């Protein structure tokens, strides 16, 4: 079986600086996110592209460290893995600055608000706020979606120059998630460039059926886009026009309120 390797990061570090066993262990941890249930050794090895014996040794190590538990057949993550996520959230300057702004935004609008960053071809939601009247469900911290068909993703992609944006879209797998997902590269390029000019992105039922959202960029002190924040709702409850009229000004206000604090 071919060795499992991550794509080259393009720097000048040699092969001796790369710890393949650690890389494989992290990859195996990521595989648990592909299923909502506990997984067998064989399933995990297959998902990670690893020999069964290698996956077994990694899982035994993770179990000894407290990150994985097993009944002898099925493996599942333990709450200890949250230490890894919480370390990022605590140390991330953008999250610490934006969370109070998201809380204020959500409370005033009485809607759920979220923040995302770009990770490869996906967006990852790293902060969230919800009014007390709304049950906390759906998109949560750590949730991933393709960048090309989400409002936060298009806002984040808009920071790229046109030629880099076109190249980024060429590298993406533009698989439709709903009947409304735009997968035409030329149209996506045109749409994202237009969103850049407007300063916001509105995506209607492209990422999730029956759901639309509007997003704005979060800029640091020098104007560089470091994140995106959004608000969304079911299409039967909030129209696209209402999102522009009611949500967009609040999102812009929240983003502007933290610009001088982000370095």
Asked if residue 8 is part of any domain, the answer here is no
Mean pLDDT of 223-252: 92
Asked if residue 24 is part of any domain, the answer here is yes
- Of the residues 34, 54, 79, which one is the last residue of a structural domain? 79
- Per residue in 121-172, pLDDT (tens digit) is 999 888 888 886 444 444 567 788 999 999 999 999 999 999 999 999 999 9
- Per residue in 84-115, pLDDT (tens digit) is 665 555 555 677 788 888 889 888 888 889 99
Asked if residue 235 is part of any domain, the answer here is yes
Give the number of other CB atoms < 10 A from CB of residue 25: 21
Same domain, 70 and 99: no
Same domain, 124 and 61: no
Same domain, 238 and 136: yes
- Of the residues 28, 54, 79, which one is the last residue of a structural domain? 79
Same domain, 211 and 170: yes
Same domain, 99 and 36: no
Domain count, the chain: 2
Asked if residue 210 is part of any domain, the answer here is yes
Same domain, 236 and 129: yes
Same domain, 66 and 125: no
Same domain, 75 and 96: no
Same domain, 128 and 68: no
Tell me, what's the pLDDT at 7?
A: 46
Tokens of 70: 């097993």
Q: Which of these ranges, 23-37, 110-124, 229-243, has the smallest mean pLDDT?
A: 23-37
Query: Whole domain around residue 191: which residue ranges?
Result: 92-261
Asked if residue 3 is part of any domain, the answer here is no
Tell me, what's the pLDDT at 192?
A: 97
Asked if residue 199 is part of any domain, the answer here is yes
Asked if residue 85 is part of any domain, the answer here is no
- Rounded CA separation 258/103 (Å): 13
Same domain, 73 and 183: no
- Per residue in 189-229, pLDDT (tens digit) is 999 999 999 999 999 999 999 999 999 999 988 899 999 99
**In this structure, what CATH number is given to the domain that contains residue 120?**
3.30.450.40
Same domain, 216 and 184: yes
Asked if residue 5 is part of any domain, the answer here is no
């Amino acid at each position: 079986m071919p060795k499992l390797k991550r794509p080259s990061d393009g720097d000048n570090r040699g092969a001796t600086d790369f710890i393949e066993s650690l890389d494989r262990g992290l990859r195996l941890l990521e595989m648990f996110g592909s299923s909502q249930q506990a997984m067998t050794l064989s399933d995990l090895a297959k998902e990670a592209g690893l020999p069964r014996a290698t996956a077994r040794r990694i899982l035994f190590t993770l179990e000894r460290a407290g990150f994985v538990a097993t009944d002898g057949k099925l493996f599942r993550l333990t709450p200890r893995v949250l230490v890894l996520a919480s370390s990022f959230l605590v140390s991330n300057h953008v999250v610490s600055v934006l969370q109070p702004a998201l809380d204020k935004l959500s409370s005033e609008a009485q809607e759920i608000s979220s923040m995302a960053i770009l990770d490869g071809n996906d967006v990852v939601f790293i902060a969230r706020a919800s009014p007390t009247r709304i049950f906390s469900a759906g998109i949560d911290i750590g949730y991933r979606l393709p960048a090309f068909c989400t409002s936060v993703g298009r806002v984040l992609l808009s920071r790229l120059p046109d030629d880099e944006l076109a190249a980024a879209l060429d590298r993406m797998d533009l698989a439709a998630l709903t009947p409304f997902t735009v997968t035409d590269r030329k149209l996506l390029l045109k749409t994202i460039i237009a969103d850049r000019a407007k300063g916001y992105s509105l995506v209607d039922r492209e990422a999730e059926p029956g759901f639309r959202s509007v997003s704005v960029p979060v800029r640091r002190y020098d104007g560089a886009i470091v994140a995106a924040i959004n608000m969304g709702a079911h299409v039967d409850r909030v129209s696209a026009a209402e999102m522009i009229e009611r949500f967009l000004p609040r999102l812009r206000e929240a983003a502007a309120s933290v610009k001088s604090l982000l370095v």
